[in-house]
Amino acid sequence: MTIQELIILGKKYLHKDQVMMLLGSILGYDSLELLLHLDENVSDSKIKEFQEKIALLKNKPIQYVIGNVNFYGNIFKVNENVLIPRFETEELVENTINLIKEHFDKPVNIIDLGTGSGCIGITLKKKLPESRVTLLDISNDALKVSRDNALLNKVDVSFIQSDMWNNVYDKYDVIISNPPYIKNDEEIEDIVYNNEPHLALYGGIDGLDIYKKIRNNLENYVNDKFILAMEIGYDEKDDIIKLFSDMKDVSITCKKDLSGRDRMIFVIRDK
C-alpha cells in the first residue's frame, strides 16, 4: 500500500489530523513531508503497526500511542505517568518568559513545581540557557519521564522528588507550576479520565489543594524579588487571587488564554 492509500484507510476510523500524526510518527515524516511522498510504498511491518495503533486509539489519546508530543517547538516523550501538555501551558511559558525578561537583567533561578513531563522547565531552560532550572514532582515515575526529556532536549537541569516544599532547601527568583486544578466531583472526558494520571488532574474538593500547598511557607522559598506563575482552572481566578492577596508588596494579575478564559495568574514582587 502507498502512503496515500493508508491515509484514506485511516480516515475511515480517525480524524485526518490524527491520521497524519500517527502515520508520520511511524514513517519518520512530518505532515508536510507525508504529502510529498503520497506514492511511496509502505512496508508490511509498518502497515501492521499503523493498523494496530489505529485500534489503540479507540481508547487512548494519540499522544500516548505515538509516545511524544510537540511542545513549544520541541519534542517531549509522554506516557500514562504524565499529563499530556496542552496549548494553554505553552501560553503560560510564553508569558513567563516575557515577564522574566521584563523584571530581571540577570540569569534567574527557576523551579517547576509538579513538572510531569518536564516540558515547562525544560522549555524555560532552552529559552533562557543561563538560568538554573529545577524540576520537582511527587511522582518518581513522572520524574523518570522528565529525566528522559532533559536528555532528549540536551539540557542540564536538576531534579527533586518531593510533595511540594518538603524536600526543597533553596530560594528561587521564578516559581512556575501547572498544578492539578480539577475539582474531585467535576466531570471530564472519558479519554482523559481513563488515561491521564489522576494525581496530575484532581486538586481536591475545591480544586485548590496544590495552590494552598504552594502558598504555605512560600516566603521561605522566594528571593526578595520573584515571579510566581501558575496555570489555573477557568473558574478559579477569584479564589486563587484571594489565596495570595495577603502577601506584602506583590502585584497579582490574571491573564486570559487565546480562547478568552482566565487561565494564568502571576504573583510578582519587584523590589
CA distances from 121 to 105, 131, 151, 238 (A): 19, 10, 13, 27
State yes or no: pLDDT of 133 exceeds 90. Answer: yes
In which band, very low, low, confident or very high, does the pLDDT at 163 lie, cut at 50, 70 and 90?
very high
> What pLDDT does residue 90 have?
96
What pLDDT does 2 receive?
Answer: 92
Neighbours of 19 (CB within 10 A): 24
User: pLDDT value at position 251?
Assistant: 97
- Say what the pLDDT of residue 190 is: 87
Pick the CATH number of 83-269 from 3.40.50.150, 3.40.1030.10, 1.10.240.10, 1.10.3720.10: 3.40.50.150
Per-residue model confidence (pLDDT) at position 17? 83
CA nearest 68: which of 19, 26, 97? 26
Residue-range domain boundaries for the chain: 3-58, 83-269
CB atoms within 10 A of CB 41: 11
State the pLDDT at residue 13: 85
pLDDT at position 21 over 90? no
Q: Which of 207, 252, 213, 251 has its CA nearest to residue 232? A: 207
Q: Once rounded to an integer, what is the mean pLDDT over residues 92-120? A: 97
Question: What is the per-residue pLDDT for 35?
Answer: 87
- Locate 9 and state its grid cell: 484507510
Contact 77, 145 (CB under 8 A): yes
Percent of the chain at pLDDT exceeding 70: 100
**What one-character DSSP code corresponds to residue 202?**
B
pLDDT value for 57 = 85
Average confidence (pLDDT) over 75-93 = 94
pLDDT of residue 151 exceeding 90: yes
Confidence at residue 267, expressed as pLDDT on a 0 to 100 scale: 98
Task: Say if residue 31's pLDDT is above 80.
Answer: no
**Nearest in space to 261 (alpha carbons), one of 185, 191, 194, 181:** 181
pLDDT digits (tens, 9 = 90+) for 169-227: 999 999 999 999 999 989 888 888 888 889 888 899 999 999 999 999 899 999 999 99
Query: Does residue 108 carry a pLDDT above 80?
Result: yes
Residue-averaged pLDDT of the chain: 93
pLDDT, tens digit, for every residue of 115-132?
Answer: 999 999 999 999 999 999
pLDDT at 193: 86
